[in-house]
Structure 1
Amino acid sequence: MEKLHTANTNQKVPTIQKIAFGSGHLVNNLLPGALGVFSFFLITAFGIEPGIAGLLSAIPRLVDALTDPVMGFISDNTTTKWGRRRPYIFIGAILCSILFAVQWQMFEENGTVYNFWYFLFFSILFIVANTIFSTPLIGLGYELTSDTKERTRLMGFANSIGQVSWMIVPLFWSLIANKDLFESQADGVRTLSIFVGFACLIFGLLPAIFCREQDVSNKDNKADLTLKSLAKNMKLLLQEIKNISKNMPFMRLCGATFLVFNGFQMVASFSYFIIVYYMYNGSYEATGNVPPFFSIIGAFLTAVMIIPIVTWMANKFGKKNAFIISTFISIIGYILKWWCYVKVDENTYMLFEDMFIQVGVVKFSIEMPLILLLPIPLMSFGLGGLFTLMMSMTADVCDLDELRNGLPRREGTFGAIYWWMVKIGQSIALALGGLVLSVVGFDASKAVQSIETMNDLRLADILIPSLTAAIAIIVMWNYKLNEDRVAKIKAELEVRRANRKNKM
């Protein structure tokens, strides 16, 4: 274990700002989560061909990949009396909340061609608006405190609040398909999108209103954001990206995140298929709400138990060591699934048997095989620890970048490139996940799958995330930006800033 720096830096983030920043993370999770569920109904509710529906998802992602770094650069170089992040967060929250609802106001009678162009147009606008909101929000989080331990506490708190989204999103499947609530699935999508948009508007504005930035740069350090300087700024952005690519601690963070997150994403849908086709022999009726509650329980445990534990480990043993420990625990959880996914029969002990939760006119069965709960908290250490630690360590990396490359600080650009890598990796992972399903011979049109297919699928469900997590541990093993080094960098930066202020 590295020797930890123990200086008391008095850089606490006020609770109201932590809550406000966390509410922004709730929006950052709720919008893509809801988008993922609603996109399924492009096929079943609005009659769009699966291939075309895939295109409707891919094109906005391409736009997203191009706009993220640009928005990060703009945010880093903005100067206003309200700060360089908050105006964009405020405007972006309003725009993306409205556009999320608007893009789903389609009607079947308009025809698939009209709906295709309608959805494509407004989804591109939504993606751009979401970038205006989310990229500065991530950058804002990196600069709310300069204390390395408080950064971990802040990111842990924000990610715990963000997990609330993943307790809500799985319920959308049941709500949209409920005929007691909506006349059709299309009506369910249209109505729920308005509620989601309104919730995101309220929570999305809070970071802009209550958070306070710590921008140590001034106008002289920043690029001139005018059309006249467009070519010059693009060249400068490319140079910054090149410099960031040489930042080896940051590259290790990106590589480890790519491995852990996308290893999980590749098999994310496998649990659903294994529960339905292996545990319940292909009976959706018998399966009930087990798959969504499997996800909800994971999100709940991540928020109330896993993230606080990881935060404590990081501040006790160091962030790198906390990552290695939590990732190793997640591997144990993945392996345990082999024994915990069991054939459900009359001898299987059920938790909450024949119990329901009533939400208005909708009843949700919460019956769950008890043994299925065993791997959940262990697996949750993977993603629960990942983003809490990586976001905190990225803030540390921004200190290193200022030391090497000067002002302005580039939290927005670092955040944009980090999440751009996550998004690109997720697209690749989802494609590879579909390929794995084909290789093992899985056919969703068949109620009964062969034993060989299900065993191969179960092995893939364990081996893929375990292998990528193990490689991520190797990637992070020689991560050098520990707490002692971050403290020394911070001290040197403070001396530089004091000297600069005296000269001015």
Structure 2
Amino acid sequence: MSKTAAKDRVPILQKAAFGSGHLINNLIPGILGVFVVFLKTTAFSMDPLLAGFIVGVPRLFDAITDPVMGYVSDNTSSKYGRRRPYIFLGAIFTGIIFAVLWQVSENNTEMFNFWYLLGFSILLIFGNTIFSTPLIALGYEMTSDYNERTRLMSFANTIGQVAWMLVPFLYILIPDQAYFDSQPEAIRTIAIAAGVVIIVLGILPSIFCRGIDASNMEGREEITLAKLWSSMGKIFKGIGQVFKNKPFVKLCLATFLVFNGFQIVAEFGVFIINFYMFDGDWGASKWWVALFPAVTAAYTAFIAIPIINMLANKYGKKNAFVIATAISIVGYLLKWWGFNPDNPMMIFLPIPLMAFGMGCLFTLMMSMTADVCDLDELENGMPRKEGTFGAIYWWMIKVGQGLALVFSGLILKLLGYDSSAATQTAEALTGMRITDILLPALTAGLAIWVMWKYSLSEERALEIKEILVKRRGEL
């Protein structure tokens, strides 16, 4: 393992601020996931397919907005840097829209709520693109050191997991009539509080984090509305260059498989715990519904991620990904015995192994994407395209997530789930349990196959860095 120079180390304050941005990137989909469960069940009883469209369709807009935002961020010139102004404005816009999005009444017609939620969900995605695309790009350029990149992403991912530790307890808070008169009122109130948190924590990276000095960077375009429209061809040319980068394509495909195999069945656990383990008794199941993902997130943050970081330093990032993902497959299979109506404590059985799957994903893949940006500069020159790489990478995730949420609702309907029923049929529950195990295990196995011959090792990354330093005339 190479030694990290002092100038390449990221100060702890900057790591914490970058991590707060990751926390927001997790908090938004986390709360949305909880709200959508109540949208489909006791709060609004909306058709699960319509609910899936509300969170799924807006993700398709990212196909346009993410690459454009990446291009804009890469080519921006300002005294505050290429990324930070957009992070600041995007956090404020996103927080406001998130609060407004959920101000809907249970007394409205189903279709009125559907169109209201769909329209504001599209605006939320737009705001989140302005915030998250430059944020991710900023992380890629905060250090040029191969191993410090992994440490930075490990630290940020650990802070990000705090969202997943807290969000599940909304399953307990929302139905609690000691705090709220009704579940829809709880959702409206929590949405406003979440909007404030998004703004406060979301602006921290724009204040404290620092990227590379781009003041003398060559090859950037002037950013105006007229120039942006005329530059659409260049944007898609840049996207084409990105997709010619074979290591990056492997990272995107493996991430798509692992993340979205998990996402399709993410809410299945809620229904399995409630309907299979507790026969539809939300009062009895609510603590288990909250504890399972919260304990998983805590284990991921404080045990799995440090181990993954150690594996990456010792065996390389690709090998660490393969090892961690293989471990997670065993964890998924253990869920068959873990979700046990006779012994609820068995629910914690698969967590120590499952946690390695999502724990390794953004820790290692984002670190490797930063390495890929160096390879692109070597092959295609300036300007560096962290924004474009970050946009494409997260576009793959978000579009996949959108499709996953749509397919999740479709699969539930096909399996026989009834959103208005107090209990579910044995056939529907068996189908959910099998899908909940086999689908993420299969996609994780395919991801290992995709990454098996990933070629950008530490030795090659160091060679590229040395060439770039000489080319730029840096000391």
TM-score range, shorter chain: over 0.9
Q: Which amino acid aligns with 1:395?
A: A
Asked if 2 retains the 8 angstrom alpha-carbon contact of 1:71 and 1:132, the reply is yes
Once the two structures are overlaid, the 10-residue window that deviates more, 196-205 or 273-282, is 273-282
Q: Which amino acid aligns with 1:402?
A: E
Asked if 1 retains the 8 angstrom alpha-carbon contact of 2:49 and 2:410, the reply is no
Q: Which amino acid aligns with 2:240?
A: K
**1:449 and 2:445 correspond:** no
Distance 1:439 1:38 in 2: 22
Once the two structures are overlaid, the 10-residue window that deviates more, 167-176 or 225-234, is 225-234
Asked if 1 retains the 8 angstrom alpha-carbon contact of 2:58 and 2:402, the reply is no
Question: Any idea what SS the aligned residue of 1:169 has?
Answer: helix
Question: Any idea what SS the aligned residue of 2:104 has?
Answer: coil
Q: Specify which of 9, 15, 19 is matched with residue 16 of structure 2.
A: 19
Distance 2:263 2:167 in 1: 16
Question: Any idea what SS the aligned residue of 2:26 has?
Answer: helix
The equivalent residue for 1:353 is none
Q: Specify which of 167, 170, 178 is matched with residue 169 of structure 1.
A: 167
The equivalent residue for 2:347 is 372
Distance 2:113 2:413 in 1: 30
Q: 1:60 to 1:335 in 2, by over 3 A?
A: closer
**1:490 and 2:472 correspond:** no
Distance 1:319 1:459 in 2: 31
The equivalent residue for 1:394 is 369
The equivalent residue for 1:67 is 65
Q: Spell out the pairing of 1:31-46 with structure 2 (5 A cutoff).
A: 31-42=28-39, 45=43
Distance 1:441 1:184 in 2: 28
Q: Specify which of 127, 137, 140 is matched with residue 139 of structure 1.
A: 137
The equivalent residue for 2:389 is 414
Distance 2:340 2:273 in 1: 9
Distance 2:114 2:430 in 1: 39
Q: Which amino acid aligns with 1:17?
A: Q
Asked if 2 retains the 8 angstrom alpha-carbon contact of 1:143 and 1:215, the reply is no
Percent identity (aligned): 55
Rg larger for: 1
The equivalent residue for 2:248 is 250
Distance 2:433 2:35 in 1: 28
Distance 1:36 1:425 in 2: 15
Asked if 2 retains the 8 angstrom alpha-carbon contact of 1:217 and 1:407, the reply is no
Q: CA deviation at 1:377?
A: 1.4
5+ residue gaps, structure 2, are: none
The equivalent residue for 1:321 is 319
Q: Which amino acid aligns with 1:392?
A: S
Question: Any idea what SS the aligned residue of 2:254 has?
Answer: helix
Asked if 1 retains the 8 angstrom alpha-carbon contact of 2:218 and 2:383, the reply is no
Q: 1:252 to 1:185 in 2, by over 3 A?
A: same
Asked if 1 retains the 8 angstrom alpha-carbon contact of 2:33 and 2:267, the reply is no
Once the two structures are overlaid, the 10-residue window that deviates more, 33-42 or 430-439, is 430-439
**1:461 and 2:436 correspond:** yes
Asked if 2 retains the 8 angstrom alpha-carbon contact of 1:47 and 1:108, the reply is no
Distance 2:69 2:183 in 1: 35
Q: CA deviation at 1:491?
A: 0.4
Q: 1:273 to 1:254 in 2, by over 3 A?
A: same
Q: CA deviation at 1:221?
A: 1.5
Q: Which amino acid aligns with 1:447?
A: T
Q: Which amino acid aligns with 1:125?
A: L
Q: Spell out the pairing of 1:120-135 with structure 2 (5 A cutoff).
A: 120-135=118-133
Distance 2:52 2:442 in 1: 28
How far does the alpha carbon of each residue in 1:48-105 deviate from its partner, in whole angstroms, 9 at most, with x for none?
A: 6655544443443233332111111100000101100011111111111122112223
Distance 1:100 1:487 in 2: 42
- Aligned residues: CA RMSD: 2.4
Distance 2:110 2:431 in 1: 38
Asked if 2 retains the 8 angstrom alpha-carbon contact of 1:217 and 1:408, the reply is no
Once the two structures are overlaid, the 10-residue window that deviates more, 180-189 or 266-275, is 266-275
Q: CA deviation at 1:253?
A: 0.4
TM-score w.r.t. structure 1 length? 0.87
Q: Specify which of 197, 207, 211 is matched with residue 195 of structure 2.
A: 197
Q: 1:51 to 1:164 in 2, by over 3 A?
A: same
Q: Spell out the pairing of 1:210-289 with structure 2 (5 A cutoff).
A: 210-216=208-214, 218=216, 220-289=218-287
Question: Any idea what SS the aligned residue of 1:6 has?
Answer: coil
Q: CA deviation at 1:281?
A: 4.0
Distance 2:3 2:217 in 1: 32
How far does the alpha carbon of each residue in 1:475-495 deviate from its partner, in whole angstroms, 9 at most, with x for none?
A: 111000010000000000000
Once the two structures are overlaid, the 10-residue window that deviates more, 413-422 or 182-191, is 182-191
How far does the alpha carbon of each residue in 1:234-269 deviate from its partner, in whole angstroms, 9 at most, with x for none?
A: 110100111111110001001111111112122223
Q: 1:168 to 1:459 in 2, by over 3 A?
A: same
Q: Specify which of 291, 298, 301 is matched with residue 299 of structure 2.
A: 301
Distance 1:472 1:407 in 2: 31
Q: CA deviation at 1:120?
A: 4.4
Distance 2:392 2:256 in 1: 12
Q: Specify which of 392, 397, 400 is matched with residue 425 of structure 1.
A: 400
The equivalent residue for 2:5 is 9
Q: 1:279 to 1:125 in 2, by over 3 A?
A: closer
**1:481 and 2:456 correspond:** yes
How far does the alpha carbon of each residue in 1:440-478 deviate from its partner, in whole angstroms, 9 at most, with x for none?
A: 55556363533x654454333222222211111111110
Asked if 1 retains the 8 angstrom alpha-carbon contact of 2:150 and 2:364, the reply is yes
Once the two structures are overlaid, the 10-residue window that deviates more, 244-253 or 167-176, is 167-176
Distance 1:87 1:440 in 2: 46
TM-score w.r.t. structure 2 length? 0.92
Q: Which amino acid aligns with 1:380?
A: A
Once the two structures are overlaid, the 10-residue window that deviates more, 480-489 or 287-296, is 287-296
Once the two structures are overlaid, the 10-residue window that deviates more, 181-190 or 482-491, is 181-190
Asked if 1 retains the 8 angstrom alpha-carbon contact of 2:52 and 2:406, the reply is no
Asked if 2 retains the 8 angstrom alpha-carbon contact of 1:249 and 1:479, the reply is yes
How far does the alpha carbon of each residue in 1:348-371 deviate from its partner, in whole angstroms, 9 at most, with x for none?
A: 4xxxxxxxxxxxxxxxxxxxx332
Question: Any idea what SS the aligned residue of 1:225 has?
Answer: coil
Asked if 1 retains the 8 angstrom alpha-carbon contact of 2:308 and 2:320, the reply is yes
The aligned length equals 472
Once the two structures are overlaid, the 10-residue window that deviates more, 242-251 or 260-269, is 260-269
Distance 1:448 1:109 in 2: 26
Distance 1:8 1:41 in 2: 48
Once the two structures are overlaid, the 10-residue window that deviates more, 109-118 or 245-254, is 109-118
Q: 1:256 to 1:206 in 2, by over 3 A?
A: same
Distance 1:99 1:216 in 2: 32
Asked if 1 retains the 8 angstrom alpha-carbon contact of 2:93 and 2:127, the reply is yes
